[in-house]
Amino acid sequence: MNDLDPRVAAVDRRLAEARRVLAVTGGKGGIGKSMVASTLALILARRGLRAGLLDLDLTSPTDHVILGLGDRFLTEEFGVEPPVVADVHLMSVSFLVGDRPAPLRGDDITNATLEILAITHWQKLDVLVIDMPPGLGDATLDVVRLIRRAEYLVVANRSRVVRETVRRTARFLRELKVPVVGMIENMARGESGTVQAMADEFELPLLGSLPWDETVEEAVGDPGALAETPFAAALGRIAGDLFETGSADSR
């Protein structure tokens, strides 16, 4: 990426009106980053905040599926307005590539990230939630570099396999010296001591635990139902602390 690329300056302008940018990360695929990011944006919108959600999973974007927005194909000439679903302003790579597989590599990844950040007109936002791609590859580095104001939220789990990746993510974020608001345990069953110990190891607060919740899967595509799940209730308490919105929905 070249800082002289006019799109780099455009990204700053596009995001200037977002009060906070929170990137949901966690390394391991399938840990629930998309579910956490989408539900968090939904909860905040229901509490009356102007919430944006940016799905930056360049290979398999899913937030539009979770929030039940049918297929869109946006074309842009001077930028695009994100479609609104359940009061969430949602932008997704899928709106640009459709359901074609998008096996991007190298510079293409940076270009796609840069392009989507540069063309999206968010207007005023209280918060922009970013669903980060799995892994610590170029796409993650691009976000760190392009969105200097981003804060990071690490989704974790006590599974040994997940822990290994989460540690790697936490170390990576620490090396990059970016602000991390804390860890969240997802798909929690039973004790949280293991995740607490991992959070302590990185001197991060454990913001809370989201239960393993069968009803989440049934609520995919139905924001009203999703907001009523025990998973959303637990996430709502964390959102209240992070965004000082209390815990009650405004509608």
Using CB under 6 A, list all residues that contact ligand ATP: 29-35, 57, 62, 134, 186-187, 210, 212-213, 216-217, 220, 231
CB of 157 vs ligand ATP, minimal distance in Å: 9
Residue with tokens 């607060």: 205
Choose among ligand ATP, Mg ion, none what residue 80 binds, the Cβ cut-off being 5 to 8 Å by kind.
none
DSSP string, 73-141: ----SS-BPPPEETTEEEEETHHHHTTS-----THHHHHHHHHHHHHB---SEEEEEEEPPSSSSHHHH
Q: Please, are residues 21 and 151 in contact by the beta-carbon 8 Å criterion?
A: yes
Choose among Mg ion, ligand ATP, none what residue 217 binds, the Cβ cut-off being 5 to 8 Å by kind.
ligand ATP
The pair of three-digit structure tokens given for residue 251, joined into one six-digit string: 């509608």
What gap in Å lies between CA 72 and CA 79, rounded to an integer? 15
The pair of three-digit structure tokens given for residue 46, joined into one six-digit string: 């229901």
Contacts of 141 (CB under 8 A, 6+ apart): none
Task: Tell me whether residue 42 or residue 118 sits nearer to ligand ATP (CB atom).
Answer: 42
Choose among Mg ion, ligand ATP, none what residue 202 binds, the Cβ cut-off being 5 to 8 Å by kind.
none
Task: Tell me whether residue 50 or residue 231 sits nearer to Mg ion (CB atom).
Answer: 231
Task: Tell me whether residue 142 or residue 245 sits nearer to Mg ion (CB atom).
Answer: 142
Choose among Mg ion, ligand ATP, none what residue 139 binds, the Cβ cut-off being 5 to 8 Å by kind.
none
φ, ψ at 47 (rounded to 5°) = -90, 5
Estimate to the nearest angstrom the gap between the alpha carbon of 220 and the chain centroid. 16
Choose among ligand ATP, Mg ion, none what residue 187 binds, the Cβ cut-off being 5 to 8 Å by kind.
ligand ATP
Task: Tell me whether residue 24 or residue 238 sits nearer to Mg ion (CB atom).
Answer: 24
Identify the three-state secondary structure at position 17. Answer: coil
Q: Cα dihedral sign for 120, 125, 130, 131?
A: negative
Partners of 211 in the β-ladder: 188
Residue number with the smallest Cβ distance to Mg ion? 34
Task: Tell me whether residue 35 or residue 180 sits nearer to Mg ion (CB atom).
Answer: 35
Choose among Mg ion, ligand ATP, none what residue 216 binds, the Cβ cut-off being 5 to 8 Å by kind.
ligand ATP
The footprint of Mg ion (CB under 5 A) covers: 33-34, 57
CB of 32 vs Mg ion, minimal distance in Å: 8
